[in-house]
Amino acid sequence: MDQVVNERYAIYNGDCMAVMAALPDEAIDFSVYSPPFGGLYNYSSASEDLSNCRDADEFMVHYAFVIDQIARLTKPGRMTAVHCSDVPKKGLGTAEIMADLPGEIIRAHEKAGFNYTARYCIWKEPLGVRNRTMAKKLAHRTIIDDSTKAANASADYLLLFRKPGASAVPVSHSNGFTEYVGATEVPRELWPFRGWSGDQKQNLFSHWIWRRYASCIWDDIREDRVLPFKQARDEDDERHIHPLQLDLIERAIVMWTNPDETVLTPFLGVGSEAFVAVELGRRAIGAELKATYYRQAQRNLEACALREPEQRALGL
């Protein structure tokens, strides 16, 4: 329905299946995205929209076509990362019964030929989740009345998959990591080692970052570090539009891509993954079916492109 194509990014207002089908085999270095969470919310009335599936089983059948395309497009030995969470089953009483969407996503990727590599757990602050969702299971009143109906603030997950085969180009960091992305500050005494060019065993700055990135739990992702999205809302979007956190995306792109490589996001939303890819000197391809989200993604990427390269590199 619309598109913007330039030397740094190509974004399309249309069905991701049509966009991906037009791309050549093994054209993508990395993909990162959040699927529509198994029909938890309805994002649009389009029949192509995964959120319009009638139930979880139909969603996985539909989603499998997307995964197959990503498998075709991904270069051998390279990665795809999926942001997801457990989701509540509908119509099963007042106490939420949860469905294992991450497990379904893992099995679907394995069926498509990917190797399941890692699961990163993204910690969520319980009171913040309660205030945003008004979930009864997180209310303090629930433990007063009946704590069998209380539960936790479900984590988000970043699932990592690798396409079989040898990568033609390694993703290397010759001086280690030079920037930490998250709420925690790097200890002052480690800053003299930033960008260390000697023996990397002595690179205490990068070692500190890697220990945190290699943890199975990412507990300092800043939930409020997201792209502008309010202008993308339709009347019925107030409860569920929430862009993916930029910290999470930036960690993924820095770890699993080189500069100038191509990053795909089949569910562009307001452009978070494409924005970070461009900001970090990569190229981005994205598709978004919903026009209001696409227009906001267009605005966000235009704002990124207007900044000087030095500003983009510093995340300013």
- pLDDT bracket for residue 245 (50, 70, 90): very high
For residue range 140-198, list pLDDT tens digits in order: 999 999 998 888 988 999 999 999 999 999 999 999 999 999 999 999 999 999 999 99
Please give the structure tokens belonging to residue 298. Answer: 């267009």
pLDDT of amino acid 116: 98
pLDDT of amino acid 313: 47
Q: What are the start-end ranges of the H helices in the chain?
A: 16-21, 56-73, 101-111, 126-133, 140-146, 204-213, 246-256, 272-279, 291-306, 309-314
- pLDDT bracket for residue 202 (50, 70, 90): very high
**Measured in whole angstroms, how far is the alpha carbon of residue 71 from the centre of its chain?**
17
Place of tokens 């089953």: 89
Q: Could you give the CA distance from residue 125 to residue 123 in angstroms, rounded to a whole number?
A: 7
Evaluate if residue 242 carries a pLDDT over 80: no
CATH topology of domain 2-314: Rossmann fold (3.40.50)
Q: Could you give the CA distance from residue 222 to residue 279 in angstroms, rounded to a whole number?
A: 18
The crossing angle, in degrees rounded to 10, of helices 272-279 and 246-256 is 50
CB 273 within 8 A of CB 50: no
The helices-and-strands tally (H runs, E runs) of the chain is 10, 11
CB 163 within 8 A of CB 76: yes
Evaluate if residue 238 carries a pLDDT over 50: no
Query: Does residue 168 sit in helix, strand or coil?
Result: coil
The chain-wide mean pLDDT, for the chain, equals: 89
pTM: 0.90
pLDDT of amino acid 119: 97
pLDDT of amino acid 92: 43
Of 186, 185, 206, which Cα lies nearest the Cα of 195?
A: 206
pLDDT of amino acid 40: 59
Q: Could you give the CA distance from residue 200 to residue 168 in angstroms, rounded to a whole number?
A: 24
Amino acid sitting at position 251: R
- pLDDT bracket for residue 219 (50, 70, 90): very high
- pLDDT bracket for residue 49 (50, 70, 90): confident
69 by Cβ neighbours in 10 Å (0-12 / 13-18 / 19+) ranks as: buried
Q: Provide mean pLDDT across the span 107-119.
A: 98
CB 51 within 8 A of CB 130: no
Of 36, 81, 80, which Cα lies nearest the Cα of 59?
A: 36
Q: Provide mean pLDDT across the span 232-256.
A: 75
- Residue 271: which residues within 8 A CB-CB, separation 6 or more? 11, 227, 286, 288, 296, 297, 298, 300, 301
The crossing angle, in degrees rounded to 10, of helices 291-306 and 272-279 is 10
CB 261 within 8 A of CB 277: no
